[in-house]
Amino acid sequence: MEQAANIAVKSQFLRDYLEIKKISDSQLAELIGVANSTVNRILNGKRNPGSKFISGILMAFPDLKFEQLFYCIDELPKRNKRSN
């Protein structure tokens, strides 16, 4: 089975953008429909964003592109201990 790549947020870019727009973390959470704790964990790198966060950000801020906000963390599947 193929393993999907994880998506991470470019936290500093998003924080800078929100500061320019004068939007707090809690306002962002309300705007995109997720819990404030979710926003906090994602921005602090303790959690990767889910589809609701990603789509919410992209819908709320149409001037931003996916590539500006997110990047992929490729994780290779673990190999068997024995080689064939």
What's the DSSP call for residue 81?
A: S
pTM confidence score? 0.79
Return per-residue pLDDT of the chain as tens, 84 residues.
444 558 999 999 999 999 999 999 999 999 999 999 999 999 999 999 999 999 999 999 999 999 999 999 876 555 555 544
Per-residue confidence (pLDDT) for residue 42, from 0 to 100: 95
Q: Which residues contact 35 (CB under 8 A, 6 or more apart)?
A: 29
Ordered domains of the chain (ranges, CATH): 6-61 (1.10.260.40)
pLDDT value of position 56:
97
pLDDT of residue 36: 97
Helix (H, G, I), strand (E, B) or coil at 39: helix
